[in-house]
Amino acid sequence: MSVLSLRGRARGPVWIAVAAVALAATGLAVTALRHSPDASAAVGGLVWADDFNGAAGSAVDSSKWNYDTGGGGWGNQELEYYTSGNANAALDGNGNLVITARKETPAGSSCWYGTCQYTSARLLTSGKFTKQYGRMEARMKLPKGQGIWPAFWALGDNLGSVGWPNSGEIDIMENVGKEPGTVHGSLHGPGYSGGNPLTGSYTLPNGQAFGDGFHTFAVDWAPDSITWYVDGIQYSRHVPADAGSNTWVFGHPFFLILNVAVGGTWPGSPDATSTFPQQMVVDYVHVYEYTSGGAVSGATGRITGIGGKCVDVAAASTANGTAIQLYDCNGTNAQQWTIASDGSIRALGKCMDVTSGSTANGALVQLYDCNGTGAQQWAVSAAGDIVNIQANKCLDAKDVSSANGTRLQIWECSGGTNQKWTVPTA
């Protein structure tokens, strides 16, 4: 079994008990009916889509999707045998993808527990499409029943080299069929995986089920947060600080996965109440660009702050450790900054960097070779803050000064004028 096919989760009674305690403590276990239009400020243009248009019975677009196949249990003691082609995943001719789980024994198949009893499909964009940051969204109608486990999720594209959970996993939507009106959104990483993810859940009102009609499931993924929605209603949000002393592993590209599992350690096996076939109907999958709340990825220009002064590389030097300061705006390359798509802010071919990767108040900001570390990961808020994600602190003009040569540092975000910045938008 390829390492790229390992789902790696072990959720059963232990997960349920842990999650129940954690969610009760955080308030995430309840239905959070809060529309959040502010979050959409970080959503840009459509960058990838599959609307599943095609003739009835057609397989999915092979330029967009691969298949995981087999019956090895997928790290969760799942019971299904995943097939390729249109056997269990086909277009319906009405603009939908239908993934069908059946109770059957496919010819020539073998499962971890012996003769396979179920078939289904698992589609993934690995090797076709990956994305770092942005909105990932699907409109779907879910199956239901004991032992049915539909999911829309994403895995880090470095899975093959670092393994799970170090690669990271973003569960955009998971449902266990015995709870037809509840979905879960979770993060898995080192120290918060398997039975102890960062998680939240959403329950439809008035006893409705997600199989009664179509619903939209989405995450907004930014450098400093991941936020979950059902039908535009925000119900959960996690930030790097939620990982505690563990590493936040959501700063690299991920690929998408759609599947319907049967059985497994979390949902349990089908029983006498379960009916087959079960179908997950997918209207579309859309991925949108991330724009960091007013800053546009790839935009280049000056960054201005207190007193109208420009963020400047001292003496236009490209040496590692060169001070980043305030100075009169002069149009030189030392004041031309690019808001990069990887979360860095760049000038003169190097990155804005917190000295020694410090997270302390007063840590000075410098120019340094770009290296992808947390010291170089920044998020620009719609309120004009530039936040170092690792430290969760703001870019700050020292001593609330606008004098030429004032050093920039990181400091607890206060909303002060010396922490407000205007960034390039084009």
pLDDT in tens, 70-91: 999 999 999 999 999 999 999 9
Task: pLDDT band for 43, please (50, 70, 90 cuts).
Answer: low
pLDDT in tens, 160-203: 999 999 999 999 999 999 999 999 999 999 999 999 999 999 99
Q: What is the mean pLDDT of the chain?
A: 88
Please determine, for residue 52, whether its predicted confidence score (pLDDT) is greater than 70.
yes
Q: Quick one: tokens of 316?
A: 């236009």
Please determine, for residue 138, whether its predicted confidence score (pLDDT) is greater than 80.
yes
Task: pLDDT band for 385, please (50, 70, 90 cuts).
Answer: confident
Give the Cβ contact number of residue 414 at 10 Å: 12
CATH topology of domain 300-419: Trefoil (Acidic Fibroblast Growth Factor, subunit A) (2.80.10)
In the CATH scheme, what is the code of domain 3-290?
2.60.120.200
Average pLDDT over residues 42-66: 92
Please determine, for residue 298, whether its predicted confidence score (pLDDT) is greater than 80.
no
Options 174, 179, 289, 412, the catalytic residue: 174
Q: What percent of the chain has pLDDT over 70?
A: 88
Q: Reduced to 3 states, what is the DSSP secondary structure of residue 26?
A: helix
pLDDT of residue 37: 31
pLDDT in tens, 324-347: 999 999 999 999 999 887 789 999
Average pLDDT over residues 263-270: 96
Lowest-confidence segment of 114-123, 145-154, 226-235 by average pLDDT: 226-235
Task: pLDDT band for 36, please (50, 70, 90 cuts).
Answer: very low
Q: How far is CA 259 from CA 19, 48, 117, 136, 368, in A?
A: 23, 19, 17, 16, 43
Lowest-confidence segment of 38-47, 269-278, 298-307, 345-354 by average pLDDT: 38-47
**Does residue 78 carry a catalytic annotation?**
no
Q: Where are the alpha helices (DSSP H) in 89-185?
A: 159-162
DSSP secondary structure of 185-230:
EEEEBTTB-TTS-EEEEEE-GGG--TTSS-EEEEEEEETTEEEEEE
pLDDT of residue 74: 95
| pTM of the full structure | 0.65
Every domain range in the chain assigned CATH 2.60.120.200: 3-290
Task: pLDDT band for 297, please (50, 70, 90 cuts).
Answer: low
Please determine, for residue 51, whether its predicted confidence score (pLDDT) is greater than 90.
yes
Average pLDDT over residues 32-39: 33
**CB-hemisphere CA count at 13 Å for 240?**
20
pLDDT of residue 26: 30
pLDDT of residue 20: 28
**Does residue 179 carry a catalytic annotation?**
no
Options 169, 179, 289, 412, the catalytic residue: 169
Please determine, for residue 354, whether its predicted confidence score (pLDDT) is greater than 70.
yes
Every domain range in the chain assigned CATH 2.80.10.50: 300-419
pLDDT of residue 1: 24
